[in-house]
Chain A
Amino acid sequence: QQQVKQSPQSLIVQKGGISIINCAYENTAFDYFPWYQQFPGKGPALLIAIRPDVSEKKEGRFTISFNKSAKQFSLHIMDSQPGDSATYFCAAAQGGSEKLVFGKGTKLTVNP
């Protein structure tokens, strides 16, 4: 049973455009929602994260929007750059554990 559903599977955006990746979760006990970025040959790296007591968190060009009632959250990348081309994973975790449940990933390509 996939507990975190991520879409789209792949995304192509022009340089300067906005990239949007969506995730939906089922387990209402999740209380931590991070996004990870992975480049080929590297391990995932934490990009930004949110807890359900806020609806939005922004760090530079990256913003997480969180909708608790809909059990959905999304990553917005503003002014997308070719260097942002990577695979992005959303994830969710429950209090007291470092166990992350990951979405299947979105391969983002930003064309110059």
Chain B
Amino acid sequence: KAGVTQTPRYLIKTRGQQVTLSCSPISGHRSVSWYQQTPGQGLQFLFEYFSETQRNKGNFPGRFSGRQFSNSRSEMNVSTLELGDSALYLCASSPRTSGANTGELFFGEGSRLTVL
């Protein structure tokens, strides 16, 4: 079974630009979450989607948005990029069907964003 696939793996943007990151979950997984990882703040939760519905959102400004498609693939977008948005953005999928969390997140290798 293929793992979680994130594209692009690396990208460089300048301040003020926007970026879209893509995530393909493990086949059959309908739950997708996004996390931001930085040396200073560690791993921070961004969003959680299940069957195209956002179930949870982290404490990030409105410049950060996401969505999930009917095939469970997900995208996140960051508009008006700031230097502090430089980070590794990780997508994770879960075999969760409904109800309580499974807690078992399968992470991709991440998209490393550098903002200059």
Contact = CB atoms under 8 A, between A and B. Distances in A.
A96 B109 contact: no
Interface in A50-109: 89, 91, 93, 95-105
B72 interface: no
A43 B42 contact: no
A89 B43 contact: yes
Interface residues of B, number: 28
A98 B33 contact: yes
B101 A46 contact: no
B100 A95 contact: yes
Contacts of B104: 34, 46, 49
Interface string A18-45: 0000000000000010101000011111
Nearest to B42: A104
A46 B48 CA distance: 18
**Band of interface residues on A:** 20 to 34
Nearest to A49: B103
Interface of B: 4, 31, 33, 35, 42-45, 48, 55-56, 58, 90, 92, 94, 96, 99-110
Interface of A: 32, 34, 36, 41-46, 49, 89, 91, 93, 95-105
Given A99-B48, A99-B56, 10 more contacts: A34-B103, A43-B109, A44-B107, A45-B107, A46-B106, A93-B103, A97-B48, A97-B55, A98-B33, A102-B42
